[in-house]
């Protein structure tokens, strides 16, 4: 599992949720890697027909090719910035295009590696109304759909001061830990009209 933190605050709320995900995942025996995107991303997407600098000028290439592509699961942890994901998180997604684009020597490997993952999301925001996360949830849902991935869970923590999500009475830290623990075991469904299925969702409900 790769856990990506999209906030510049090392001791912030996204980081607190990420740490809870990591704790839960490790308790379940999942191997985890955590990355602060600020450490790896120093620029936005280039025009792929006119690259201005070599692709390896920051840590993105290593992160994307060596850590993101091989991961079975990825959890994005981002603050809400202006009702969307942080620029760091968006740049992570945008810059994948430089490798995914037709003509890149590793295109086939990149295309295969981007698909069939489990995807999770932890969002930290100051405001608490459910709609504050919806733009981010929708964007990742579409990313998951596009890459044939399974979007298995969302945790929303409310806080503004560093680490304040721990005081959120809805207990997003526990929810993040559960997301990490159950990440590869959670039931996931996204039916089409002809999807084979039972009328009961949970086997025990019979």
Q: How far apart are CA 155 and CA 20, in angstroms?
A: 11
Q: Is 14 in the site for ligand FMN (CB under 6 A)?
A: yes
- State residue 76 phi and psi, 5-degree precision: -90, 125
Q: Is 9 in the site for ligand FMN (CB under 6 A)?
A: yes
Q: Is 132 in the site for ligand FMN (CB under 6 A)?
A: yes
DSSP assignment letter at 33: E
Which of 39, 83, 97, 107 is close enough to bind ligand FMN by CB under 6 A?
Answer: 83
One DSSP character per residue, 64-118 reads IIIIITT-SEEEEEEE-BTTB--HHHHHHHHHTHHHHSTT-TTHHHHHHHHSS-E
Query: Taking the C-alpha atoms of 59, 7, 130 and 181 in order, what is their torsion angle to the nearest 10 degrees?
Result: 70
Which region among 11-19, 25-33, 55-63, 147-155 touches ligand FMN (by CB under 6 A)?
11-19
Decide whether 18 or 110 has the Cβ nearer to ligand FMN: 18
Site string for ligand FMN, 166-205 (x = CB under 6 A): ----------------------------------------
Positions touching ligand FMN (CB under 6 A) are 7, 9, 12-14, 79-83, 124-127, 132, 159-160, 162
């Amino acid at each position: 599992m790769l856990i990506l933190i999209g906030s510049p605050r090392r001791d912030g709320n996204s980081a607190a949720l990420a740490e809870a995900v990591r704790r839960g995942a490790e308790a379940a025996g999942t191997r985890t890697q955590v990355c602060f995107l600020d450490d790896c991303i120093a620029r936005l997407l280039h025009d792929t027909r006119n690259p201005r600098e070599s692709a390896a000028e920051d840590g993105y290439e290593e992160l994307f090719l060596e850590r993101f592509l091989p991961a079975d699961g990825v959890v994005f942890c981002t603050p809400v910035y202006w009702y969307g994901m942080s620029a760091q998180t968006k740049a992570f997604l945008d810059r994948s295009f430089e490798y995914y684009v037709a003509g890149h020597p590793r295109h086939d490997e990149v295309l295969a590696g981007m698909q069939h993952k489990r995807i999770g999301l932890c969002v930290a925001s100051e405001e608490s109304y459910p709609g504050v996360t919806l733009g981010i949830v929708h964007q990742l849902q579409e990313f998951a759909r596009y890459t044939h991935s399974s979007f298995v869970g969302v945790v929303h923590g409310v806080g503004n001061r560093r680490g304040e999500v721990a005081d959120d009475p809805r207990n997003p830290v526990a929810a993040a830990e559960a997301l990490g623990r159950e990440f590869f075991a959670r039931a996931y469904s996204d039916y089409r009209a002809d999807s084979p299925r039972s009328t009961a969702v949970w086997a025990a409900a019979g």
